[in-house]
Amino acid sequence: MRTFGYYAIALQSQALGASGEGVGGDVLALVAAASPLQKGVLLILALFSISSWGVVFLKLWQFRRLEQQTSSFLDIFRRSTKFSEVQPVCRSLTHSPLVGVFQAGYAELNTQLRQGDAAPDSAGRPSTAIGRPTLRSFDALDRALLRAAAVEINKLEQRVHLLATTASITPFIGLFGTVMGIMAAFTGIAETGSTNLGIVAQPIAEALIATAAGLAAAIPAVYFYNYLTHKVKIYMSTMEDFSMEFLNIAERNFT
């Protein structure tokens, strides 16, 4: 596992243009020659980077599937004349957040309509009159839709926080590794009593790898965190629009 981490860090650093001729420019050689502390820092950064890229690919795949199913669901919903016609297709479109919102609203609507049918008449007996079904509480339906939307938003935001953590903490971890490496380099200068550039260049280059690795992990995490957060906001707006559309239909037909 440790060897894999070193290899991942080396490839990541090479992507930033840290390759060159000789020991001073060979990232693989610098990583291999680094101190145990530096290697530990690089391994931590590699784990953060690998985890964040895993989240990115997972969420991009999830959002792509979500968009396809949401488009299909909205098309079916708007072509249907009754809510009961939409309910059967929900089982095949479970990855769309609108399905969860619809099912919560549909369940609350059915509950209220059944209670309305069973309401007693003026004599205290169950009503048997057949008339237009009526909602007992429009606000309760609205609250059911809001609760369902909040649940779906939490699902969309799962694991995205790891990108924010990676973006904020990895530069500092890399900086810590660099500071410790430079301290070790100056300690070596003091012990040898020589300031020859050939002696201090390699230890300082080894120290700077940690900063480069920290930035290589943080920059993509920042970009994709902002991108995915923006996508979640768009889906929040879509759920709000759908909830209002659902309420408008319910108000026209059951009030």
Does the predicted TM-score (pTM) go above 0.85? no
Task: Please tell me whether residue 190 adopts helix, strand or coil conformation.
Answer: helix
Task: Give the residue from 157, 209, 207, 165 showing the smallest Cα distance to 47.
Answer: 165
Mind listing the pLDDT tens digit of every residue in the chain (255 residues)? 444 344 444 434 444 443 344 434 466 666 666 677 778 888 999 999 999 999 999 999 999 999 999 999 999 999 988 888 888 888 889 899 999 999 999 999 888 888 765 545 444 454 444 556 677 888 888 899 999 999 999 999 999 999 999 999 999 999 998 888 888 777 777 776 666 666 667 777 777 888 888 999 999 999 999 999 999 999 999 999 999 999 998 888 877
**Degrees, nearest 5: CA angle 73-78-84:** 75
Residue with tokens 């249907």: 80
Spatial CB neighbours of 123, under 8 Å, sequence gap ≥ 6: none
Spatial CB neighbours of 104, under 8 Å, sequence gap ≥ 6: 144, 145, 147, 148
- Angstrom CA distances, 121 to 113, 114, 138, 230, stand at 16, 15, 22, 52
Task: Give the residue from 1, 21, 22, 19 showing the smallest Cα distance to 11.
Answer: 19
